[in-house]
Structure 1
Amino acid sequence: MGDSVHVPAPAPRVHLTRLPGERVRVGTAGGEHDPDVVEDVDLAELPGLVAERETAHGEGPDGGPRWVWDDTARWYPALLAAGVRVARCHDLRLCRRVLSRAPAVDQSLLRGEDAELWDGLAPAQPSEPVLFSAAAASEHLDAAVEDARQLGAVAASPDAARLALLLAAESASALVAAEMTHAGVPWRVDVHEALLTERLGPRPPRGARPRLLAECAEEVRALLGSPGLNPDSRPDLLAALRRAGVDVADTRAWTIRRIEHPVAEPLLRYKKLSHLFTTNGWAWIDEWVSGGRFRPVYQPAGSATGRWSSNGGGALSFPVQVRSAAVADEGWLLVVADVAQLEPRVLAGMSGDLGLARAARGADLYQGMVDAGAVASRQDAKLGLLGAMYGATSGESGRMVAGLTRRYPQAFGLVEEAARAGERGQVVRTLLGRGCPALGGSWDESPDAPPDDLDAQDRHRRAYGRFTRNFVVQGTAAEWASCWLADLRNRLWRLGDGDAPLEGRPHLVFFLHDEVVVHAPAHLADAVVAEVEAAAVAAGTLVFREHPVDFPLNVSVVRSYAEAGKPGGTES
């Protein structure tokens, strides 16, 4: 016989269900010959129970248990606050949402006891003060019942392996999100407040404008001859501009830049300062920064494509103007890594287009297309690929799409077929099986076209086709990023000292679509860079398997987030 190969057993699944009276039902699923074990414990005992089981199983070859719960955001923050990290979980709310839209899943298998309550389960909000907030039925859903439904639905699917990977990555993302909120981005309030004082003036009384912003408003009023103008009121500002002979349709910055009137410069300056004051001013610091940490609240898969959104703090629109306040602790550094041209690389991998995959070998996919003789310039390559993914049919971008379709037929054919499917009213799916919202669903905020307006219906279907064209690529990119995060999270944990808590080891503090920021002890920065890069390679192999694509990273090791990617930072 040949050498034996150890095949890890499936992680034991431990179901957590909330019970009335601050109690928790803990159910451990037995194996083929083992009975299930169910026990009810006080909520206060849960962190100790979880820590004990993680310690008992976490170092073995099969890993620790998989905690199965209704919503990671309801359970994990309390465990983290008690100093308990879990290795893996199954987030029933997130996974049910995936399965309920997956074209390869028999939806009848998701029906049953409390199914409607599971469908309506919303993510926990950051304002919720306790784990158990009410006696409502949705607060006490049976995790074991729903888990059995989901496992059955996946097992019966022809895409079971891919769906299982997607659900594992989705659940790991929920753990990452909770850990990033718990750890927070290191934040220098003194740096932030000095920046505000320099640009806006001293902190004003509540409800008042800071001095420099008020002076800018007075300058705008004087130039428009409107002493009572409120520049924050769009109707008032439009009326004042028109009285001054400036006829504009809106007050957006790009419109103001085009007008020839002395008010343009101070009005643009006012808009910029006002945005800083209202979006990231002193009130923002009071609400979102505590203990020297910015603690935003993330929502994994908060968008239809699986991309993250933010429930609070504005993390996913992290403004450049305040990044100088994101400063590593003394003796620590920030490792900032982003993927070069993520979505075009994903398109090459998921389509199996070997020509585009060859162009993707290296740091610049667009230049790779030029070097292969597909286009004359890097700009042409960019126009063509982005045009294909976003549906450009005219102009320079449309011309490039037509030419590159002949050069890369599988890649360009994949997005074109997704668009045609959308125009026929069909749903499309990502590589791992996430289905898009149906025509007329949450993909678009505009109402459905009236049934008797054929032109409007046609426009609506074409718009849906543009959505499905991009959905397959953007959604698969989100899946790759989730796998990257899941693997990187565990790699960083293993870099730390054995008894150190999450915050005492290298740990993720920020994620945005194709970029991560790791807070790391300075002596481990080089090791963190290596693990970030290794996790990107592993994610590409895991998702694209026989068609792996290079995912090169731009990596900076810096003290302040504002230095990332600049000559002052250290780039690997």
Structure 2
Amino acid sequence: MAPRYALVPDPHGPAGRLQPLAEDGTPLGAPVSVASLAEAVAQVEDAERPRWVWAAAESAYAPLLPLRLARCHDLRLVEALLLGQESRWGEPRSLGAAWARLRGLPVPADLPESPGTDEQAGLFAPDRLQLPPGTDPLEAVVAVHAGQQRRLAAIGDDRARSRFRLLVAAESAGALLAAEMAYDGLPWRADLHDARLTELLGPRPHVAGTQPKRLAELAVELQQALGARPFNPDSHGQVLRAFAERGIQLGSTRTWELRGVDHPAAALMIRYKELSRIHVAHGWAWQDAWARGGRFRPEYVVGGVVSGRWASRGGGALQIPRSLRGAVVADPGWTLVVADAAQLEPRVLAALSQDAGLARTAAAGDLYGALAATAFHGDREKAKLGLLGAMYGQTRGGIGPLLATLRHRYPAAMGYVEAAARTGEDGGIVRSQLGRSCPPPSADWLDLTEAPETAGDAGGRSARARGRFTRNFVIQASGADWALALLAALRRRLAVMASGTDRPHLVFFQHDEVVVHTPIDLADAVVAAIAESGEEARMLVFGDTPVRFPLTTAVVECYADAK
């Protein structure tokens, strides 16, 4: 077991305090105050390679960068996992909240997340720890960590406990990586971004808040196509009324619905929505705020989605449009290695359910193609539609016969998701492969489903909706388990390839896709490291399963060339 050290930075300068801990959290010595926390931590890291224990990576690790640490125990992330395990999902998870629960004190609500990079300094303020006045932060870190270790030791049987400890380690490794990616940034060419925006939207408006030329032109074309009466194309209600006046009844302005409308205004509206989304989410104002100094530096939120997937606090890191990926260009002498997991969720289902037939189908490079060949007379679209319907609980649109075929061919896989759906419909809790818990049903849900005589069909609809959620949760959350293990394994391998500024480093992560920025001469080694890490993650999360999780890799100068 690696030694452990509790760490608390001084919020007003480079100093801080450390304290060595036993595996169970018992202090092994008195706290040590140091004038330079970064220097002291670097010395301990080189000598002992410990697991660092802190309140949250944002407040403890970010001030130490560019120093790289191998492992940590992030109290805030672990608290959230444990609360879910204990059926207390959603309770406050800050250091102060965990401390209050230990002491029987009133539990403070979590503060809102940081709104942006310009307010990073606020993350280091003592009040963000939510501790009562006069409380020693190091004492709280040590006590909360010891409490968490006791709670971890009390989890179920050995197998469940081992898996959950792996989840804790992987989630904490994600905290390290999220801080590092925000620090290093994704290479971003502002000149190429600006040229693409100009091509799509017209020149940058001189007056802030003014609509770009192309959007303004599209708005006029829309009005003319719908009878020349002025309306705001950004207003959902006004758009619906404008179409209705031309005899076109729309339930919404969603793109899929507009595509079914045989009128020139529908295509114009779709194009307006596409360009408006780029302008608002990744336009010039976005560039000014998030893509400075040749790097895009988003704020990742580890476990920000209930399934364990990451979210982003700002910058739209998880939604970089394909039309703008040409701005992501490697530095001179460097390249990008882009890897994504092919058809991850159906492979996760095969591994979870241990369905031998689906495992054999998943052995092929194109799972949907293999499924089509064996069960759907070569119709790949039907195969994909049926399997996605099984995983997401879709029953409409003629999908029934497809599901019947899948039940016949893959009874274990279909039984697995249907059992998860029934658990959800009954108000139960389902968990990922490593033990991440789904949220419990709300009080309103319980009121609807427990009183069918008064709720009518609303209770049934609510129960079925929760069943669809839990059906997919077990797959999506287990996929997130695998992705976390992949990230931790890849981060470890990259760290030993080189040192300092020549080290390959992860710069982007999106559910089942990673991007590594690497010196060109190390690109082949990075490709091999990604494959090895994927295989390690498969074994760690799913054990000795025949299901493989192939990763498609591309070595490119520009992100747009990866696909």
Q: Deviation of residue 521 (structure 1)?
A: 0.9
Q: Given the superposition, is the C-alpha separation of residues 355 and 48 from structure 1 closer, same or farther in structure 2, using an over 3 Å criterion? A: same
Q: Deviation of residue 256 (structure 1)?
A: 3.6
Structure 1 gaps of 5+ residues are: 1-9, 58-63, 566-572
- Aligned match for 2:419, one of 417, 420, 427: 417
- 1:451-493: CA deviation from partner (whole Å, max 9, x where unpaired): 4314212211111111111111111110000000000011111
Q: Is contact 2:429–2:438 with CA below 8 Å preserved after alignment?
A: yes
Q: Deviation of residue 510 (structure 1)?
A: 0.7
Which secondary structure state, in structure 1, belongs to the residue aligned with residue 203 of structure 2? Answer: coil
Which secondary structure state, in structure 1, belongs to the residue aligned with residue 130 of structure 2? Answer: helix
Task: Give 1:78's aligned residue.
Answer: 63
Q: Does 1:53 align with 2:55?
A: no
Return the alpha-carbon distance in structure 1 between the equivalents of residues 277 and 102 of structure 2: 49
Q: Given the superposition, is the C-alpha separation of residues 201 and 300 from structure 1 closer, same or farther in structure 2, using an over 3 Å criterion? A: same
Task: Give 1:185's aligned residue.
Answer: 186
Q: Given the superposition, is the C-alpha separation of residues 456 and 86 from structure 1 closer, same or farther in structure 2, using an over 3 Å criterion? A: same
Q: Given the superposition, is the C-alpha separation of residues 119 and 146 from structure 1 closer, same or farther in structure 2, using an over 3 Å criterion? A: farther
Q: Is contact 2:19–2:27 with CA below 8 Å preserved after alignment?
A: no
Q: Which is further off, 404-413 or 158-167?
A: 404-413
- 1:73-121: CA deviation from partner (whole Å, max 9, x where unpaired): 22222111xx2111111111111111111169999x9952278648746
Task: Give 2:195's aligned residue.
Answer: 194
Q: Given the superposition, is the C-alpha separation of residues 32 and 186 from structure 1 closer, same or farther in structure 2, using an over 3 Å criterion? A: closer
- Aligned match for 1:523, one of 518, 521, 544: 521
Task: Give 1:270's aligned residue.
Answer: 272
Return the alpha-carbon distance in structure 2 between the equivalents of residues 73 and 457 of structure 1: 42
Q: Is contact 1:383–1:396 with CA below 8 Å preserved after alignment?
A: no
Counterpart amino acid of residue 179 in structure 2: A
Count of aligned pairs: 539
- Aligned match for 1:354, one of 353, 356, 360: 356
Please show how residues 16-55 of structure 1 align to structure 2 within 5 Å: 16-17=7-8, 24-30=16-22, 36-41=28-33, 45-55=36-46
Q: Given the superposition, is the C-alpha separation of residues 308 and 31 from structure 1 closer, same or farther in structure 2, using an over 3 Å criterion? A: closer
Which secondary structure state, in structure 2, belongs to the residue aligned with residue 37 of structure 1? Answer: coil
Return the alpha-carbon distance in structure 1 between the equivalents of residues 264 and 25 of structure 2: 82
Which secondary structure state, in structure 1, belongs to the residue aligned with residue 533 of structure 2? Answer: helix
Please show how residues 19-418 of structure 1 align to structure 2 within 5 Å: 24-30=16-22, 36-41=28-33, 45-57=36-48, 64-80=49-65, 83-102=66-85, 111-113=101-103, 117=107, 120=110, 126=116, 127-135=119-127, 138-139=130-131, 141=137, 142-158=140-156, 159-204=160-205, 205-226=207-228, 228-369=230-371, 373-377=374-378, 378-394=380-396, 396-418=398-420
Q: Deviation of residue 227 (structure 1)?
A: 6.2
Q: Given the superposition, is the C-alpha separation of residues 324 and 20 from structure 1 closer, same or farther in structure 2, using an over 3 Å criterion? A: closer
Which secondary structure state, in structure 1, belongs to the residue aligned with residue 438 of structure 2? Answer: coil
Q: Given the superposition, is the C-alpha separation of residues 219 and 356 from structure 1 closer, same or farther in structure 2, using an over 3 Å criterion? A: closer
Q: Given the superposition, is the C-alpha separation of residues 223 and 468 from structure 1 closer, same or farther in structure 2, using an over 3 Å criterion? A: closer
Normalized against structure 2, the TM-score is what? 0.88
Q: Deviation of residue 384 (structure 1)?
A: 3.1
- 1:302-358: CA deviation from partner (whole Å, max 9, x where unpaired): 111111111111111121111111111111111111111111111111222222222
Q: Deviation of residue 66 (structure 1)?
A: 0.8
Which secondary structure state, in structure 2, belongs to the residue aligned with residue 495 of structure 1? Answer: coil
Please show how residues 551-566 of structure 1 align to structure 2 within 5 Å: 551-565=549-563
Which secondary structure state, in structure 1, belongs to the residue aligned with residue 271 of structure 2? Answer: helix
Return the alpha-carbon distance in structure 2 between the equivalents of residues 447 and 233 of structure 1: 35
Q: Given the superposition, is the C-alpha separation of residues 114 and 180 from structure 1 closer, same or farther in structure 2, using an over 3 Å criterion? A: farther
Counterpart amino acid of residue 125 in structure 2: S
Higher share in helix? 2
- 1:359-391: CA deviation from partner (whole Å, max 9, x where unpaired): 2223222334456x4443333432332222112
Q: Given the superposition, is the C-alpha separation of residues 263 and 137 from structure 1 closer, same or farther in structure 2, using an over 3 Å criterion? A: closer
Q: Which is further off, 504-513 or 454-463?
A: 454-463
Compute the RMSD of aligned alpha carbons: 3.0
Q: Given the superposition, is the C-alpha separation of residues 257 and 391 from structure 1 closer, same or farther in structure 2, using an over 3 Å criterion? A: closer
Q: Does 1:487 align with 2:479?
A: no
Q: Deviation of residue 231 (structure 1)?
A: 2.4
